Structure 1
């Protein structure tokens, strides 16, 4: 491992007058590349040394315990690197935990974490071309203020927890913040839902994302919705259970062959807009957006904001419920 450092540069600031002193300028930091391999530097060691601007390159397959990612770094596998998190254990056994801002995780395979493969509470992070699988909770989870994160070509699949009720492909839930965007992502074969937005506190945008055959993994069964876009927030301490009306947006998304519903309101009281989305062969119906409901956590009847279905297609699967929908454009199969 080599670190390249620039020389410190000092300069006088301002005119020198009687009694004035020279003030040295701060040191410039040269970004460093740190290689991680099974026979060299460990991931935890690299992260303990990394500073904003540094790049950590995963060479081959490396094993790691749970690690925290500092702000402003890049972790890349260059398309071939893999992190095996089988050394993690218990409910604290997340693979990468990111409570900081401005990092990029890309071109990498991550698997076998005892909890989430990637857990995020930070903001303005990027996740690009990742293969996240076989973790014992959601492949990727964004919670507690996580906002303005960007995901592109992330494949989260075959994640399963013991009870089947937690391991989604993407869990953008439990007080996640606004501005999270997913493009060209796929959730497939997870024990619970493809995408779960339960108790989110910020709207999410999905573009060309897919949810395929979620709801069972290795005989473990959960809810099995493709895109679950709501949920009563009964997890805020000292605050009564309530709905947060959010305007989630789904464009050119596909829900195919999920064991329950393809696109599910799940008590979302905001206006959800689906444009050119396709629901097909979902056992519990392709689109489930009733106008009214009585969420068990609230105990009283609610009239929801009307969802917008614009130029969408429904084929095969169970019956749709679109009593709480405004249709636009040319729709097929409703």
Structure 2
């Protein structure tokens, strides 16, 4: 009797009330776990299939994987920064490496390569990509589309990605209805067949800080548009909606575009007010900064459009031409 009385007085985490007493629940969530994935051990796909929010998948050495889907809230990490994932066993237009349609996951300290499509494709929100090398994929290295919002990319190096025609494989494709609040810090796009950063038909403003676009537009002889930072595009991909411009206020701080075959910083029909502070364009093939005041987008039937004026503060142009009739400059050098 005394033992029952004592049990009734215990209030433990996860307890339930039954007959006036507090009883221990056996349904409390299990503690987060770590699964180690390496060659000859559990596969990446099997580890992710059983992972739950809070779990860690630790990649040791080089592993080969087909396309995988990332569940919500997991951490995928390379051991001591040495983890590599070879996605070359993927195939076809759906042959993406990582697909992330969920929220709150982290992918960090890894090298990812060889996917038949994107290295990383994301539609989810509040995910983090950190300290990654993404290369040798056959579409954009990293793509955020269809509502992907509030994602944070830090120190991601996306390079040498190329598709068959050269027109699709950007370093970073934050486009085709991507959402608000995506930020890129200390990221680099280099030697990709198309653009460094492509914001075509994005639906939310993007913030870039200390990002670099280097020598994009030619990857081993496969050639695309080659713009460093392409910040716009007519949205003619929304079903049931006429082609239109979305005015977005992208922000670029201390970014650099060097040696791209197109323009370093390119409006590409963006009619929102883009602000560039401390940005440097150098030796780009078309213009270092290409922000005309008007344009006649073919997707709008060639109708002449007057764009919102970009704001350029303390920017620098070296060894190249510029079209800045659609920009207001303050403290800039080399124009």
SS for the counterpart of 1:34 is: strand
TM-score calculated relative to the size of structure 2 = 0.94
In 1, the alpha carbon distance for the partners of 2:29 and 2:121 equals 32
Superposition RMSD on alpha carbons, in Å?
1.6
Identify if the C-alpha distance between structure 1 residues 25 and 39 changes in structure 2 by more than 3 Å, giving closer, same or farther.
closer
Residue deviations 1:247-306 (CA, integer Å, cap 9, x gap): 000000000000010000000000000000000000101000001001000021111000
SS for the counterpart of 1:297 is: helix
- The alpha-carbon deviation at position 327 of structure 1 amounts to 1.1
Query: Equivalent residue for 1:124?
Result: 126
Query: Equivalent residue for 2:84?
Result: 82
Which residue of 85, 94, 97 maps to 2:96?
94
In 2, the alpha carbon distance for the partners of 1:14 and 1:290 equals 72
Q: Given that residues 9 and 26 in structure 1 are in contact (C-alpha distance below 8 angstroms), is that contact kept between their aligned partners in structure 2?
A: no
Query: Equivalent residue for 2:308?
Result: 305
Query: Equivalent residue for 1:13?
Result: 17
In 2, the alpha carbon distance for the partners of 1:173 and 1:64 equals 26
Query: Equivalent residue for 1:316?
Result: 319
Query: Equivalent residue for 1:217?
Result: 219
- The alpha-carbon deviation at position 90 of structure 1 amounts to 0.3
Residue deviations 1:14-35 (CA, integer Å, cap 9, x gap): 8729xxx979474132010000
TM-score calculated relative to the size of structure 1 = 0.94
Identify if the C-alpha distance between structure 1 residues 231 and 22 changes in structure 2 by more than 3 Å, giving closer, same or farther.
same
Correspondences of 1:208-287 after superposition (within 5 Å): 208-287=210-289
Residue deviations 1:88-107 (CA, integer Å, cap 9, x gap): 00000000000000000000
1:189 equivalenced with 2:191 (yes/no): yes
- The alpha-carbon deviation at position 201 of structure 1 amounts to 0.1
- The alpha-carbon deviation at position 213 of structure 1 amounts to 0.2
Identify if the C-alpha distance between structure 1 residues 25 and 305 changes in structure 2 by more than 3 Å, giving closer, same or farther.
farther
Identify if the C-alpha distance between structure 1 residues 323 and 14 changes in structure 2 by more than 3 Å, giving closer, same or farther.
farther
In 2, the alpha carbon distance for the partners of 1:61 and 1:331 equals 47
Q: Given that residues 264 and 289 in structure 1 are in contact (C-alpha distance below 8 angstroms), is that contact kept between their aligned partners in structure 2?
A: yes
In 2, the alpha carbon distance for the partners of 1:12 and 1:164 equals 61
In 2, the alpha carbon distance for the partners of 1:278 and 1:152 equals 20
Residue deviations 1:43-99 (CA, integer Å, cap 9, x gap): 000000100000000110000000000000000013100000000000000000000
1:45 equivalenced with 2:49 (yes/no): no
- The alpha-carbon deviation at position 11 of structure 1 amounts to 2.0
In 1, the alpha carbon distance for the partners of 2:90 and 2:304 equals 43
Q: Given that residues 16 and 22 in structure 1 are in contact (C-alpha distance below 8 angstroms), is that contact kept between their aligned partners in structure 2?
A: no
SS for the counterpart of 2:299 is: coil
Q: Which ranges in structure 1 are unaligned for 5 or more consecutive residues?
A: 1-7
In 1, the alpha carbon distance for the partners of 2:30 and 2:313 equals 51
User: Which 4+ runs in 1 deviate beyond 6 A?
Assistant: none
Larger Rg: 2
Query: Equivalent residue for 1:153?
Result: 155
